[in-house]
Structure 1
Amino acid sequence: MQKFDVIIVGGGPIGIACGLEAKKQGLSFLIIEKGPIVNSLFNYPINMQFFSSSEKLEIDDIPFISKEAKPKRNEALEYYRRIVTSNQLNIHLFEKVTKVVKSDGSFSITTDKNQYVSKNIVVATGFYDIPNNLGVPGEDLPKVSHYYKDPHFYASQKLAVIGASNSAIDAALECYRKGADVSLIIRGLEVGQRVKYWVRPDIINRIEEGSIKAYYNAQVKEIKPTQLLIDTPDGPLTLENDFVLALTGYMPNFEFLEKLGIQLSLDEKRLPSYDPKTMESNIEGLYLAGVICGGMETHKWFIENSRIHAPIIMKSIKTKAE
């Protein structure tokens, strides 16, 4: 059974940053990722452009050069992949952690492929794997998706996009421009204020000119094979519909955190317990890194402000080992 100073669960940008820092500190480490390198970024829409500029997405002061100030998905994939390969980081891909048990000061980690022992664990699993479900009849129909990839698929189709955040607005605009008949279902009064500042005027203009139909203060009540039933301030409406993109956000894997023994706040935020000075959770030797630290507040932590977690964590591990 292989033994390490630290095992990092999650091979996204912050997990990679933790691996780089562990290597600098002379710690034996392994990154375990259930999908490809930066799995969550790989599953982003093909044409996605980041809100942050390239230098804010850099890790370990490795320059990120992009064609535009704000890079796109394919550029980020190239950047993080090259970091992993050129630094020869010890990473196991397409391997899923299934069980973690702590005994005698060490962690036994079981995956679907192997078993390991480590003195410390870093959980950097992000939040993109579990969608916030609508909880309405018909949500399990094949025409409904919580993930958006390519606008070509929806060309010449009646598409309902549910949500008002960046992902929903990007999808609505891209699909409209590929010939989809787009309806935007928004629970609140307006397009989300956090929508990228260069995109928000675009969607508002398309709505005002009638190219995209927006329903504000609206709630989906039922999804049928060829229709969508919604409640609006003007009463119930039935929309003819071919596909639904329910882009209502995502959440961390709280079940996994609870199985690890990490304490979560009892309110709707479900904030995990950790010491901000070390990023160590209520379980000694178990650290949290990246967006997962924000619980349901998934907008609180992102690459540019959580990349500092890596040196904080590895310094704590190194100090305890001395």
Structure 2
Amino acid sequence: MQIHNSQYDLIIIGGGPIGIAVGLEAQKNNLSYLIIEKGCLVNSIYNYPSNMSFFSTSEKLELDNIPFISTNPKPKKAEALEYYRRIATSNNLNINLFEMVTGVNSEDEEKHVVSTNKTTYTANNIVIATGFYDIPNYLNIPGEQLPKVAHYYNDPHYYATQKTIVVGASNSAVDAALEIYRKGGDVTMIVRKPEIGERVKYWVRPDIDNRIKEGSINAYFNASLIEIKEKEVVIATPEGNKSIENDFVLLLTGYRPNFDFLKKIGIRLSIDGKQIPSYNDETMETNISGIYLAGVVCGGMETHKWFIENSRVHANMIVSSILKKQKKTV
């Protein structure tokens, strides 16, 4: 394995919008930096559903006061990809794509060794901006590994004319159910709670409620999926277990950060079930000196807490902390 002899001021793990924001801030302040991303640029956004619209308006997705011009009140996925790609390329950000970080070893407060599947780097500081979209919340039920089951949804055309179960009641589940229904799919939603999720986009909520009310989309509330078979599924309802004929299952039950990666580094997580990482909310520095968090990863299991619009500030907080440390050592 190749080893890079130079030591960066900062290595950013994750090439999403917040990782890019940290890179921009580092570049403005003449810090040597490298962004490492295991997939393509803004990989999570690239893997979002093809027709997805953001909850936020375009100005709330902007980085470094660079205007995000959208033709829609709520930007589409394709517009976001174009925006963040142009930022990265026009600013010549130092990004290594398709490179997986496998570990971080902190030799001391000022030297952190980052190992990847390609090489090894050293840095004075590390920023972890890895998001949460890579690991689904598995149900761990019989049949979950069948080919008909997916934890990610892309395009409704695939499910046209098919009997499709959508498990979940969040924005992703509601969007999938509505899109598949409108492409001719036979949709049934399985919802654990007594109603659709309270955080569903306000302009979508009436649509899903009305489609369920009129019977265009079937829905079982206070219900859970307990088994998936080749041609049917079994659900538990307040009236007892029920079998439903089925072609495909979309388990849109949310996602979680890579907690094993954080723990392996030595970052403490809360023991209240939320697994919120330990960090200073003024600097974003974790319990390990020189290692910072940025973006949605800060929320642990509370993945609804941090978004692009409210975590863009992490970039300035982190770089300001690093610059203060540098002044102290001069």
Instruction: Sort the TM-score into its range (normalised by shorter chain).
Output: over 0.9
- What is the CA-CA distance between 1:148 and the residue it aligns to? 0.2
1:171-250 aligned at under 5 Å gives the runs 171-250=176-255
The residue number in structure 2 matching 1:91 is 95
The residue number in structure 1 matching 2:153 is 148
1:28-39 aligned at under 5 Å gives the runs 28-39=32-43
Structure 2 counterpart of 1:74, from 68, 73, 78: 78
The residue number in structure 2 matching 1:10 is 14
Structure 2 counterpart of 1:317, from 309, 322, 325: 322
- What is the CA-CA distance between 1:63 and the residue it aligns to? 0.5
* Structure 2 counterpart of 1:179, one-letter code: G
SS at match of 1:195: coil
- What is the CA-CA distance between 1:240 and the residue it aligns to? 0.3
Q: Distance in 2 between matches of 1:285 and 1:39?
A: 25
The residue number in structure 2 matching 1:61 is 65
Q: Distance in 2 between matches of 1:287 and 1:176?
A: 43
The residue number in structure 2 matching 1:102 is 106
Q: Distance in 2 between matches of 1:15 and 1:188?
A: 35
SS at match of 2:115: strand
- What is the CA-CA distance between 1:158 and the residue it aligns to? 0.4
TM-score relative to the length of structure 2: 0.97
- What is the CA-CA distance between 1:144 and the residue it aligns to? 0.4
- What is the CA-CA distance between 1:212 and the residue it aligns to? 0.3
The residue number in structure 1 matching 2:132 is 127
- Equivalent pairs counted in the alignment come to 322
Question: Which 4+ runs in 1 deviate beyond 2 A?
Answer: none
- What is the CA-CA distance between 1:321 and the residue it aligns to? 1.0
SS at match of 1:67: coil
- What is the CA-CA distance between 1:279 and the residue it aligns to? 0.4
TM-score relative to the length of structure 1: 0.99
Structure 1 counterpart of 2:275, from 255, 270, 291: 270
The residue number in structure 2 matching 1:22 is 26
- What is the CA-CA distance between 1:11 and the residue it aligns to? 0.4
- What is the CA-CA distance between 1:119 and the residue it aligns to? 0.4
Cα deviation digits, residues 253-277 of structure 1 (max 9, x gap): 0000001100001111111000011
Q: Distance in 1 between matches of 2:30 and 2:226?
A: 55
Structure 2 counterpart of 1:136, from 126, 133, 141: 141
1:239-318 aligned at under 5 Å gives the runs 239-318=244-323
CA RMSD of aligned residues (A): 0.6
SS at match of 2:283: coil
Percent pairwise identity: 66
SS at match of 1:275: coil
Q: Distance in 2 between matches of 1:189 and 1:231?
A: 14
- What is the CA-CA distance between 1:102 and the residue it aligns to? 1.1
Q: Distance in 1 between matches of 2:310 and 2:104?
A: 28
SS at match of 2:102: strand
- What is the CA-CA distance between 1:114 and the residue it aligns to? 1.2
Q: Distance in 2 between matches of 1:211 and 1:246?
A: 20
Q: Distance in 2 between matches of 1:288 and 1:115?
A: 21
- What is the CA-CA distance between 1:60 and the residue it aligns to? 0.5
Unaligned runs of 5+ in 1: none
- What is the CA-CA distance between 1:100 and the residue it aligns to? 1.1
The residue number in structure 2 matching 1:46 is 50
SS at match of 1:231: strand
- What is the CA-CA distance between 1:198 and the residue it aligns to? 0.7
